[in-house]
Amino acid sequence: MAALWEDVLRDQPAVREAAAVAVDAALLEGVLMRTEGQPNASDVVNYAPFTLLPSAVPRALFEQAYAVQQDFNLLVDAISQNKEFLEQTLASTIKVDDFTARLFRIHTQVLEEGLAQSVFLGINRSDYMFDCGVDGTPALKQIEINTIAASFGGLTSRTAAVHGRVLKVLGKPEEASRLLTNNPSRGLAWGIAKAWELYGAPGAVVMFLVEEVQRNIFDQRCVENELWNRNIRVIRKRFRDVFEKGSLDDARRLYMEGQEVAVVYYREGYVPKNYDQQNWEARLLLERSRAVKCPDIATQLAGTKKVQQELSRPGTLERLLPGQAEAVARIRATFAGLYSLDMGEEGDKMAAAAIADPDRFVLKPQREGGGNNLYGEELRQVLEKIRDSPERTSYILMDKIKPQPSMNYLLRAHSPLQVSECISELGIFGVYVRQGQELVMNRAAGHLLRTKATKHADGGVAAGVAVLDTPYLV
């Protein structure tokens, strides 16, 4: 990357001019977030943070990430339908992690009652880094797969245009022309629209289930607008609205204030702080309904870190995807080292190894949303405290990935313009729709590149650490 834009990085006046153009371009294109001061008001907005320059991404690894996405869609769907696998895999976790346990209890209750839902919609995002390993050759390694509320498909659909403008201002029109078009918001809307259509009630609405604090509303509006453009009505509700006004009829159709709901698209509900007792009751009501949930609770459980670790065990992928050796090989090629901390000899050995050499590993809890992982000295202190306690089984260990840093400017509102050493993370959006046992849609729906300064160990865009970026294939 330093070699890619080295001439630009040295030219301070050009950088200052390009940064001013970039900010205006971001506002023009709608790369927007509400402010921290007024997170629920759109009369004061600012640009979402982003890089000044697009970041170099190895073309072969980018293509590999796209090529494996349909395989990951199949895998997540297979896991969500395999109650025994989820039960066995999460057995130790649900003893010590109340949040996962409560999700699992709802899953069990809904299955015992009998599923009313017959159409299933998955929207996920598989995230990767480029690990340079021992010999310095970059390899694609999966960080995680997000199966609920995978965000920034909307804003990243508008970011490439900003970077194209910047490169032209810097006298690089040919490089600007090489930036890929990317529209995940359209891809995600395709999936939601297909699920809505298969639900089979033309007057029914799509409900976006949203958080109390909605700084990232414009990202969601991008997807919402795609649905309105297809004449699909969208409503936005919170858990408390569902608790107060949601109801099921005898056929378990879901109604909100008299409107039948065909699809519930979760942009909420992925961390414990999203729930109080009322919200858990609202979640149960939604799960019991016939409406298409994106995700249904089994698919949310399929995205837990414990499931991710279990998938890396020899033979597990073959059991979940029988007769699909090529898909299994493509998936397995992306795995980093993942290790169990279950009670017993294997877990004892891994805990001791991580305490002895904490910089080799990342300690991951069963959480989404960025900013939850532990590294280095903090990892060592936490593991020392819980090494002999069943509490350790609520975490997994993963090899720490070591990407090649590059130099870039990270543009944030009210922050000085300065160059930073950075690393990037590539996400590929996947969308699938299943009706009964028939998979009627399975596709990769676009990509997201996020970049952060190397001084930050963890955290995404919403967590205030990473910024939006565009891949420049090399």
How far is the C-alpha of 88 from the C-alpha of 456, rounded, in Å?
Answer: 35
1 within domain boundaries: no
Residue 131 lies in a domain: yes
- How far apart CA 383 and CA 387 sit, in angstroms, is 5
Shared-domain flag, residues 383 and 327: no
Determine, yes or no, domain membership for 119: yes
Asked, for residue 214, whether it belongs to a domain, the answer is yes
- Same domain? 102 vs 133: yes
Q: Rounded mean pLDDT of the chain?
A: 95
* Residues sharing a CB contact under 8 Å with residue 335, sequence separation 6 or more, in sequence order: 141, 142, 311, 312
Q: Are residues 225 and 360 in the same domain?
A: no
Rounded to 10 deg, the angle between the 345-356 and 376-386 helix axes is 140
Residue 458 has what pLDDT?
A: 62
Q: Which residues contact 362 (CB under 8 A, 6 or more apart)?
A: 373, 374, 375, 379, 397, 398, 399, 400
Q: What is the pLDDT of residue 1?
A: 42
What percentage of the chain reaches a pLDDT higher than 90? 90
Structural domain harbouring 295: 6-336+401-473
Q: Provide the 3-class DSSP secondary structure of residue 73.
A: helix
pTM (two decimals) = 0.94
Q: Is the pLDDT of residue 370 over 80?
A: no
For the stretch 351-356, contacts whose Cβ atoms lie closer than 8 Å and that sit 24 or more positions apart, written own/partner, are 351/383, 351/387, 351/392, 352/387, 354/379, 354/380, 354/383, 354/397, 355/380, 355/383, 355/384, 355/387
Query: In terms of domains, do 270 and 364 share one?
Result: no
**Active site residue ranges:** 125, 144, 146, 151, 305, 364, 368-369, 450
pLDDT above 80 for 459: no
Same domain, 321 and 346: no
Query: What would the pLDDT profile of 19-47 be if each residue is shown by its tens digit?
Result: 999 999 999 999 999 999 999 999 999 99
User: Model confidence at 4, in pLDDT bands (50, 70, 90)?
Assistant: confident
Cα atoms in the Cβ-side hemisphere of radius 13 Å centred on 65: 31
Burial of 113 (0-12, 13-18, 19+ CB in 10 A): exposed
pLDDT exceeds 80 at position 462: no
Mean pLDDT, residues 73-97: 96
d(CA 406, CA 333): 25
Which of 363, 394, 393, 390 lies closest to 376, judged by CA? 363
**96-148 pLDDT, tens digit each:** 999 999 999 999 999 999 999 999 999 999 999 999 977 889 999 999 999 99
Residues 330 and 346 in one domain: no
- Residue-wise pLDDT tens digits, 224-273: 999 999 999 999 999 999 999 999 999 999 999 999 999 999 999 999 99
- Per-residue confidence (pLDDT) for residue 311, from 0 to 100: 96
Question: Binning pLDDT at 50, 70 and 90, where does residue 369 land?
Answer: low
Contact 300, 270 (CB under 8 A): yes
Round to whole Å and give the CA distance between 12 and 272: 45
Q: 372, 400, 428 — which closes off a domain?
A: 400
Domain assignment present for 430? yes
pLDDT at res. 456: 75
Q: Which of 363, 379, 400 is the last residue of a domain?
A: 400
Please give the backbone phi and psi of residue 298, each rounded to the nearest 5 degrees, phi first.
-65, -35
Q: Are residues 257 and 350 part of one domain? A: no
Do residues 380 and 430 both lie within one domain?
Answer: no
- Among 356, 372, 400, the domain-final residue is 400
277 and 379 belong to one structural domain:
no
Mean pLDDT of 53-67: 98
CB 347 within 8 A of CB 125: no
Q: Are residues 352 and 328 in the same domain?
A: no
Domain count, the chain: 2
- Residue 440 CA to residue 101 CA, distance in Å, equals 32
pLDDT at residue 336 in the model: 92
CATH code of 367's domain: 3.30.1490.50
Is 358 found in the same domain as 441?
Answer: no
Q: Are residues 183 and 104 in the same domain?
A: yes
Question: What is the token pair recorded at 75?
Answer: 């895998």
The candidate with the shortest Cα–Cα distance to 173, out of 181, 187, 182, 163, is: 163
- Encoded tokens for 261: 């709901």
- How many angstroms from the chain centroid is the CA of residue 375? 20
Amino acid identity for residue 317 in this structure: L
